[in-house]
Structure 1
Amino acid sequence: MRTRIRAHLFASTMLVAGVAVPAHAQTAEDARTQAPEATANEQPVIVVTGSRISNPNLDQSSPVQVVGESEITLRQATNAEELIGELPGVSPGAGAGVNNGGAGFASLNLRGVGTNRNLVLLDGTRLVPSSLLSETDLNIIPVALVERVEIVTGGASSVYGADAIAGVANFITKKDFAGAELAGTLGINERGDGARYRADVTLGANFDDGRGNAVLNVGYQKVEPVLQGDRDVSRNTYFINGEQIGSGTTFPTRINGRIYNPETDSLRDYVGSRDAFNFAPDNYFQTPLERYNLFGSARYEIADAIEVYAKGMFTKSTVQLSLAPSGMFGDTWLLPLNNPFLPNAVRTEVCASNSISAADCAAAAGATDPTDPNYREVATIINRRFVEQGPRIRNLTTNQFQVWAGVRGEITDSIDFDIYGLHGESDRKNSNINWGLKSRVQQALRAVSETECADPSNGCVPINLFGDGTDISPESIAFFNQPAGATISTRLSVVSGSISGEIGNFLAGETPIGYALGAEYRKYGASQVSDVAFGTQDEVLGTGAPSPSFSGAYDVKEVFAEVIVPLVEDVPGIHSLTFEGGLRLSDYSNTGGSTTWKAGGTWEPLRGYKIRGIFQHSVRSPNISELFTPVTTGLSNLPEDPCEGTNPVGNPELTAICIAQGAPAGVIGNIPSPSAGQINLTSGGNPDLGVETADSYTLGVVLTPPQIPRLAVTADYYHIKVTDAITLPTPNDIFGPCFEEGDAEACALIRRNPLNGSLNGGGDTPGLIAVLTNQGTIVTSGVDLRINYDVPMSFGGLNFDLTGNWTEQSKFQASPVGINRECVGQYSSNCGFFAGEITPELSFNFRTTARIDEVGDISLLWRWIDGVDYERILPTDGVHPDYLSIPSYNYLDLTFRTEIADTLGLTFSVQNLLDKDPPNVSNYVGTTALNSGNTYPTTYDVLGRRYSITATMKF
């Protein structure tokens, strides 16, 4: 019985939906040696991700993509994000390439339908979420212990829960590890920056004659930053029309849209190409990371067929984000006319623009303090970059732990059971440095002398805004540059029990019917606790939305069942015919009951030629963020405002729309363009949200022809449709109907700055008003292809592994009256608003590995990304021709792997072998998070040629 239990723990061999083939870039020999040994009379129990049924003779209908141990070694990954982020059809979420908009963790976005619609599992069990959106941080995965990754990309909700709409990524760890392994990785970019370090120590031992095993892994990873200022593509900031430009928050100070010139004591018109601030150099292309991992597991067979087990993991990671210096970003400020630093030219213009007479202006200038009858403050829009303060820094420190404990074994020779509980918690502390507090800057503006504030509390020091950009004193900076931050805490508790086994087949053949039954209870909790500054609207300068404190929780009770029934075997035209079905009944405390189910099967007319398909119906409940996040005003993307500049002049209809949205009639013709391509967006959670439903199906073939040994081909068509989707409208969903069709409801969702008519400013400028609803529809479909062929050669062997994806459609419609937007092969701020990552129509990875006896492996990975276009339904007037398309891209990675001795192995890689530069499409064609440094750093390589070496010692 002991061998059977150990095989059960192993979880699975390298199967793709029940067909044993080498995993990605893995040799046939690798695949053969993955399976645990079995006795002559006993076959190992095999579990494949996507099913809880443990039977090596039963084929699952869901396609499973596998990254095997050999590929993991070749990639020399520092974290789990690097193992799967470049796979065709897998869209990465936030990660190391996201700086402005990063959250300090790496998430997964299967099929581009949202990071909250897939699951990340460890050995088939859930991990505590790392965000309020229930996203899992890939950084917590212990990469050194990962044996393989299995990705179900056709949906897996009936097996793992309804939030697995797009599928799951299951990281499976090594079992029964015995001995010691020391591994170290060093990587460096050819340009000398972005160094990457990883060190792991793994210790394991069997004890009590093999009845037990314990393993411990301690890991350390460090990633050095790469600044956008250190790459040619991103050294300057380019606008969508090709002009070198930047942010309108600049220096010297900009008052009501005009620039103060200290040399002439006068104001002049702001000209973007001359005056805009280049914010790029201080941003990161590769965010720095330091992480410590601790992972341990143990098992012990307490009886002949009963085993207890436990696991625990702890991760501490620190990620740093860097942005251009903070400042006064076009908010409305109360400017005292007696400010001692206020130049006469500025005072005169401010008075004139507010219809204050020269006599009253002079009297106000001479006021001694706020109690003086002549004291006067004027609402003024001020843009001033605090270059004296240095770049804005955001430190995100995450502490995460999770523990598991359970018992499993056999009830009878044909029935297994597994009962376990887990609890995990994650705390992510966000500390903002060099941002500044608005209330303190306002206090510092109310100065009665160059050294004294009208309100001297808190150690107030006056601020001088009217020099050339180096005149704010260190004492003043120290006064308003107070730290601010918040802590996001999440927790997950699970109790789960299941039985799986087999019963005699009363229909056909000798293969028994496989089944699984179980029940599960999950409880989620999350909170955001902010200090006063970080939770107050418009208080922390340059942050976008505040983060008010709130909390929420819900739980779910579920029962599930699964069955695989061989229907016909070994008759003419049917080598095998199998039915697969599954049902999960859920009761959510927030949305009530729901039913998730699947039905499918496989047909193998001839041995080695198989057709498979499955249909799945899912019902996802809203998560804590979608339900409970307070409504706040943050930022969205818009490169050009229809009301900006002279656009409304001579156009009475457009003028009327702009005025109706809150723009003063007097500023028509001079409304500023969006600051740095960003506008205000007011949104938040919605406690009235209901469930969203999804229907998905896959249909494909698996070919392992006996006539061609060592060849495996899989091709699967997938289709996922989410209705009643919880979504926000894109900016164009609001601007299009309003300005192109005159839709009054859409126009009412745009509220402008009451002083200058822009869509930027403080709390008095809501900008776009977008509410989460269940009105969205998301559709994606395409084909996954996998071809693996291993050829023995006189010198060793050759392995060819092709993984490809064709995306047929990737559509998003925020509401029934919104645009049904197609984003396959297209990029824009609208496409990026939802899916984020560029979705090429075609992409593939092709790895060729030569095994040379007594020498090692030489492997070449060719990654190809299809060309993409600027969103075709958008007007191209004013868009530089070079930014309207990105050609197809090819990347080559070369790796050599060898064993110096029985105990020492070396792996050396050159990534981006040809040093391919990323495309330049400006900094304004997409969303801020993903269109950064004039390119898309999460899609295209921005680091250049780089080298890495890994040494592994085993004892």
Structure 2
Amino acid sequence: MISAKSSLNRAALKGGVATFVIAILAIPGAALAQAVPTPETVATTTDEGTIVVTGSLIRNPNLISAAPVTVTTADTIQLRASNVAEEVLRDIPGVVPSIGSAVNNGNGGASFVDLRGIGSTRNIVLLDGNRIAPAGIAGRVDLNNIPLALVERVDALTGAAVTTYGADAISGVVNFVTKQDFSGVDLQLGTGLTEAGDGATYRADLTVGGNFDEGRGNAVLSVGYQKADPVYQGARDFSIFGRSTYTGAPSGSGTAIPSRFTGLRPIDPVTGLPSTNPAVANGNLQLDPATGTARGLYAPFNFNPYNIFQTPFERFNIYGAAKYDVSDSLQFYTRGLFSKNNVKTIIAPSGAFGTPVTINLNNPFLPAGLRNQFCAANVGAAGTYQARFTPAQCAAAAVATGPTDPNYRTVDTALARRTTEVGPRISDYSTTLFDYRAGLKGKVTDSVDWDLSGSYGESENRQTLQGYVLASKVRNTLLVNGTAANPVCQTADKTCVPINYFGPAGSISQAGAAYINGESTTTVKTSLAQVRGIVSGDVGVAIPGATDAIGFAIGGEYRKYKAQQRSDSLAKTAGELGGAGGAAPDITGGYEVKEVYGELIVPLIQDKPFFENLTLEGGARYSDYKVDAPTEPAYNTFTWKAGGTWEMVQGLKLRGNYSRAVRAPNIGELFSPQNTGLTNLSNDPCAGAAPVANANLRAVCLAQGAPSTSIGGILNPTAGQANATAGGNLELQPETANTWTVGAVFQPTFAPGLALTVDYYNITVKDAVSNPLPGDAVAACFGNLSAASAASPACLAIRRNPATGGLDGDPSTTPGLFLASSNLGRIETDGIDVTLNYSNDIGFAKLGITGNFNYTFHSMFNADVTAAGGGVSRECVGFYSVNCSFTGSLQPKWQSSLRTTLGFNDFDISLLWRHIDGLEQEPLDVVEQGSYLPAYSKIKAYDYFDLSGRVSVMENLSLVLTVTNLLNKQPPVVGSNAGSTTFNSGNTYPSTYDALGRRYAMQVNLKF
């Protein structure tokens, strides 16, 4: 479906794909086939017997990849019953789940991949070996836009590929390779449902392809539709109620019903009046609607039932490709991609999340008991009790007629009240992407080819926030005169509806809910323009001892990235949208890069004893970056790789690769302004009574902006979410990395059909573009308190709520933690990959076994929070915590997937075994935040089994049935504080473990 408002989209597709599809229909008796991509993109054998591997630019008949590549085939995708590409990649060992369909609070409407757990910005997603337009200011490709119906296989290349594909490929690339020379018509219809009867999925894809002009031309068109329904956390027993990771008790948000107010003194249980004890700090107390007074204990708001485990998703997509042989030595090719997808995230209702407000004491809804507490809420500078207003002043203010009355009084407080009357918060993300590519390729000689192509793509992501309460209107509705039966807003806004925030759930009228409710939009647009030229082949000369000629590739590339974010006034105003986190400022940025590169493959010794084939390869790329900024930052980078393969005897090959890689900072890292948003922190060192007994701690809390009256009464961040201020930095430089792999390939002659690979990988990123983790920022200040700590930069960088002393609240007044961007980070990871493939005829059936196994030794991150060093190296493999789930979900030491298939004449049956190693609480987290409840401090190893069957109903008709999570294994329960909000949701980690339960899927394939 092509949007009528986008003439550019229409023009892009009309110029290439549509022309060739019309050609198919216009030529009688045209044979059917699919387009051929550029030669460097396919890890398969071409008609000329030339092998081309993902990760290389050279076609060479004896090339064996020096770097490990994990392959997922179209058959696997079909048996997995996946709707989107992110679900396919989630099961590959060594891939750490990133943003995807199982992420609700933190999903921006796009899905990403995170190779090796070092961040989704450190790998590249390719379509047939080429980049496509990114989905946001971080430059990442949205996996929701990949046309799965036309994908033949997915190659995941481990290790740096920056010399081949450019910056960002430090951990590798994921290359979606489309079907080549497709001929005929392929209709796929699929649907799925959980055993609980929810989470329905639907899929329909139609692909038509064929040849024309006596085989000189070829074109294909694929159109698809996919849809997924939500699964609510309230529909699963283990997630109905939020649980504290530390105690196991019910937990939730302090923004609840009834309302909570700051600056109050608790009721003295003896006198029934506000306490006059100066040792009792002013609190953040919840109103008891029955008595009209605020007391110390409050019931947390259970937000789980509103949240979802599977985000609603809907997509329309079109993919078209074509080629035409102008002559025997010249070919024109083109490809067009269009996608329109919609993702909704649904979270608990909005409200006033610690919003600073002013309340007049003659407000007709204000209970007398609460009025008296407001009047008595103050402690003098010397610590002696001193009422804000005398009892006489308070009584006179209660009956004041309005602002002109000399007895009129107001009080300032912060309001926390969940507005369930408004309904849930819904973020609707609508993304439109088109990407068009065209090129010419031909031959210089019989062994040397050239390829010149250009492409342009745009992505637009429009976020519409619904159900959010506006802080400015909340303030209007709290300044009320008149009577409870006839209240009148004091504001000049004639549409204002007075609201009773002092009652139970339902006290906000329908008219009041409509008045404070607002809708806001933020739009992010990105574009990528590319020109690429390459000459590749062989030099026609072999060195002594070898039979094959030296292969080479040389080329140049130009890329221009642009991105902008535009928000309406509501989204740009910090704290205006209740519960939306920070503001969404306008962002404009871009950069361009010019590159030249080359690769060599040199066969050294061939067909000799112990040297069946010894081949070396190398590559280098020079890049010139220029950033679109007033200061015009610029930098040059040089990357290189060296590797080789040694086939000692038939069936045994050794391989290795070493790369010097770089990653240039992306537009978001460069251009995002400083902005206050949300991060995860369960325990605030200044919370509770600790600052009362510790003079150094008290001094630090006060230096960070906590009022003296809050000491002893500061609360931990509500729902474990603290404010944090961060942003981009135009002074950032490219990060550098050293990556290397070494391994072996076994294809023993005594076991026909068996192939086994074992590879060790090691990645070290220096000068990493990074932000301190919340635990790092807190530890830098509170890790070793002294008398001088209150004046230390690490402590003064933390800024507290001026009303409550906490680290949460209105972002316009509470910056919270300061997480500055810098090049001070360091990342290290290493591990072993093993792949197993075996196929054989065992008499009664054909047996196929495919296994992928990963063991990660280390995955360490050091943010180095001070310029002088001293940062903590945080090991996260095998552990979970808030700090260990910021770049992605869990990373167990051992992961594996093993598929066993038996093929018969008319059907086959396949069992997939997925294993996830056990994990436990991160040791540093024990020190920083305290021990988890013993039952929540460890996760045992998990095994999932998925059963699939494929039946040939007729010659052209097949049926695939899949049962995912065959044994209906429930996910581990670790509470709601064991990780970041993005990945720890519903008391578990739904991106890693199956929170949906047993699911059934059916797919019908019709081909002719």
Query: Which of 824, 831, 836 is the matching residue for 1:787?
Result: 836
TM alignment of 1:498-513, pairs within 5 A: 498-503=534-539, 504-513=541-550
1:558-581 deviation per Cα after TM superposition (whole angstroms, max 9, x unaligned): 011001000111223222211110
TM alignment of 1:936-947, pairs within 5 A: 936-947=989-1000
Alpha-carbon offset, residue 513 of structure 1:
0.9
Please state whether the residue corresponding to 1:944 is helix, strand or coil.
coil
Q: 1:446 to 1:424 in 2, by over 3 A?
A: same
Quick one: distance in 1 between partners of 2:731 and 2:498? 47
Alpha-carbon offset, residue 731 of structure 1:
1.2
Please state whether the residue corresponding to 2:57 is helix, strand or coil.
coil
Q: 1:737 to 1:283 in 2, by over 3 A?
A: same
Instruction: Find the counterpart in structure 2 of residue 154 from structure 1.
Output: 159
Q: 8 Å contact 1:14–1:66 — kept in the other structure? A: no
Asked if 1:368 corresponds to 2:419, the answer is no
Quick one: distance in 2 between partners of 1:578 and 1:658? 63
Q: 8 Å contact 1:7–1:44 — kept in the other structure? A: no
Instruction: Find the counterpart in structure 1 of residue 444 from structure 2.
Output: 411
Quick one: distance in 2 between partners of 1:861 and 1:381? 54
Higher alpha-carbon deviation: 932-941 or 447-456: 447-456
Alpha-carbon offset, residue 689 of structure 1:
1.0
Instruction: Find the counterpart in structure 1 of residue 355 from structure 2.
Output: 331
Instruction: Find the counterpart in structure 2 of residue 805 from structure 1.
Output: 854
Q: Aligned AA for 2:251?
A: I
Quick one: distance in 2 between partners of 1:262 and 1:7? 71
Instruction: Find the counterpart in structure 1 of residue 827 from structure 2.
Output: 778
Alpha-carbon offset, residue 508 of structure 1:
2.6
Query: Which of 256, 260, 264 is the matching residue for 2:291?
Result: 264
TM alignment of 1:590-609, pairs within 5 A: 590=627, 591-609=634-652
Asked if 1:91 corresponds to 2:99, the answer is no
Q: How many residues align?
A: 924
Alpha-carbon offset, residue 298 of structure 1:
0.9
1:630-676 deviation per Cα after TM superposition (whole angstroms, max 9, x unaligned): 11111111111121122223222222222222222222211112100
Query: Which of 374, 377, 383 is the matching residue for 1:350?
Result: 374
Alpha-carbon offset, residue 793 of structure 1:
1.5
Instruction: Find the counterpart in structure 2 of residue 455 from structure 1.
Output: 491
Instruction: Find the counterpart in structure 1 of residue 454 from structure 2.
Output: 421
Quick one: distance in 2 between partners of 1:76 and 1:756? 51
Query: Which of 712, 734, 740 is the matching residue for 1:669?
Result: 712
1:811-833 deviation per Cα after TM superposition (whole angstroms, max 9, x unaligned): 00001321100000000001112
1:146-195 deviation per Cα after TM superposition (whole angstroms, max 9, x unaligned): 00111101121110002111111000111221211111011000110000
Alpha-carbon offset, residue 458 of structure 1:
5.7
Quick one: distance in 2 between partners of 1:266 and 1:447? 20
Q: 8 Å contact 1:339–1:446 — kept in the other structure? A: yes
Query: Which of 688, 710, 720 is the matching residue for 1:645?
Result: 688
Asked if 1:691 corresponds to 2:717, the answer is no
Alpha-carbon offset, residue 340 of structure 1:
2.3
Q: 1:410 to 1:665 in 2, by over 3 A?
A: same
Q: 1:765 to 1:793 in 2, by over 3 A?
A: same
Please state whether the residue corresponding to 1:906 is helix, strand or coil.
strand
Q: 8 Å contact 1:562–1:582 — kept in the other structure? A: yes
Query: Which of 479, 486, 489 is the matching residue for 2:515?
Result: 479
1:70-105 deviation per Cα after TM superposition (whole angstroms, max 9, x unaligned): 212211211111221110001121010000111111
Q: 8 Å contact 2:947–2:966 — kept in the other structure? A: yes
Quick one: distance in 2 between partners of 1:748 and 1:817? 18
Quick one: distance in 2 between partners of 1:546 and 1:294? 35
Q: 8 Å contact 1:496–1:520 — kept in the other structure? A: yes
Asked if 1:929 corresponds to 2:982, the answer is yes
Q: Aligned AA for 1:204?
A: G
Quick one: distance in 2 between partners of 1:454 and 1:920? 49
Q: Aligned AA for 2:522?
A: A
Q: 1:647 to 1:45 in 2, by over 3 A?
A: same
Asked if 1:228 corresponds to 2:244, the answer is no
Alpha-carbon offset, residue 291 of structure 1:
0.6
Alpha-carbon offset, residue 891 of structure 1:
0.1
Q: 8 Å contact 1:639–1:925 — kept in the other structure? A: no
Query: Which of 842, 851, 870 is the matching residue for 2:894?
Result: 842
Q: Aligned AA for 2:833?
A: D
Please state whether the residue corresponding to 2:697 is helix, strand or coil.
helix
Quick one: distance in 1 between partners of 2:408 and 2:563? 48
Q: Aligned AA for 1:751?
A: R
Q: 8 Å contact 1:8–1:47 — kept in the other structure? A: no
Instruction: Find the counterpart in structure 1 of residue 382 from structure 2.
Output: none
Quick one: distance in 1 between partners of 2:449 and 2:850? 36
TM alignment of 1:695-710, pairs within 5 A: 695-710=738-753
Quick one: distance in 2 between partners of 1:48 and 1:559? 20
Quick one: distance in 1 between partners of 2:150 and 2:35? 17
Please state whether the residue corresponding to 2:121 is helix, strand or coil.
coil
Quick one: distance in 1 between partners of 2:204 and 2:943? 31
Quick one: distance in 2 between partners of 1:208 and 1:766? 66
Instruction: Find the counterpart in structure 1 of residue 13 from structure 2.
Output: none
Please state whether the residue corresponding to 2:709 is helix, strand or coil.
helix
Quick one: distance in 2 between partners of 1:665 and 1:638? 23
Quick one: distance in 2 between partners of 1:927 and 1:584? 38
Instruction: Find the counterpart in structure 2 of residue 23 from structure 1.
Output: none
Please state whether the residue corresponding to 1:741 is helix, strand or coil.
coil
Please state whether the residue corresponding to 2:488 is helix, strand or coil.
coil
Report the identity percentage. 46
1:89-130 deviation per Cα after TM superposition (whole angstroms, max 9, x unaligned): 011210100001111111010111111110000000001110
Instruction: Find the counterpart in structure 2 of residue 312 from structure 1.
Output: 336
1:824-876 deviation per Cα after TM superposition (whole angstroms, max 9, x unaligned): 0000001112x321000001001111111x23211100000000010023327
Asked if 1:540 corresponds to 2:546, the answer is no
Alpha-carbon offset, residue 511 of structure 1:
0.8
Quick one: distance in 1 between partners of 2:990 and 2:454? 40
Quick one: distance in 1 between partners of 2:42 and 2:456? 28
Instruction: Find the counterpart in structure 1 of residue 412 from structure 2.
Output: 379
Please state whether the residue corresponding to 1:648 is helix, strand or coil.
helix
Structure 1, gaps ≥5 residues long: 16-34
Quick one: distance in 2 between partners of 1:496 and 1:267? 68
Q: Aligned AA for 1:692?
A: E
Asked if 1:79 corresponds to 2:84, the answer is yes
Instruction: Find the counterpart in structure 2 of residue 905 from structure 1.
Output: 958
Q: 1:942 to 1:447 in 2, by over 3 A?
A: same
Query: Which of 168, 185, 188 is the matching residue for 1:183?
Result: 188
Q: 8 Å contact 2:646–2:654 — kept in the other structure? A: yes
Alpha-carbon offset, residue 251 of structure 1:
0.6
* TM-score for both structures, normalised by structure 1: 0.95
Q: Aligned AA for 2:327?
A: A
Please state whether the residue corresponding to 1:459 is helix, strand or coil.
coil
Q: Aligned AA for 1:509?
A: A
Q: 8 Å contact 2:355–2:471 — kept in the other structure? A: no
Query: Which of 139, 147, 157 is the matching residue for 1:134?
Result: 139
Query: Which of 916, 920, 937 is the matching residue for 1:865?
Result: 916
Quick one: distance in 1 between partners of 2:565 and 2:42? 42
Q: 8 Å contact 1:635–1:679 — kept in the other structure? A: yes
1:267-307 deviation per Cα after TM superposition (whole angstroms, max 9, x unaligned): 22224xxx110010000100000110011111110111211
Instruction: Find the counterpart in structure 1 of residue 279 from structure 2.
Output: none
Q: 1:639 to 1:8 in 2, by over 3 A?
A: closer
Q: Aligned AA for 1:840?
A: P
Alpha-carbon offset, residue 698 of structure 1:
0.5
Q: Aligned AA for 2:808?
A: N
Query: Which of 213, 216, 225 is the matching residue for 1:208?
Result: 213
Quick one: distance in 1 between partners of 2:926 and 2:339? 47
Instruction: Find the counterpart in structure 1 of residue 618 from structure 2.
Output: 581
Provide the aligned C-alpha RMSD in A: 1.7
Alpha-carbon offset, residue 373 of structure 1:
4.1
Instruction: Find the counterpart in structure 1 of residue 365 from structure 2.
Output: 341
* TM-score for both structures, normalised by structure 2: 0.90
Query: Which of 102, 105, 116 is the matching residue for 2:107?
Result: 102
Alpha-carbon offset, residue 361 of structure 1:
2.5
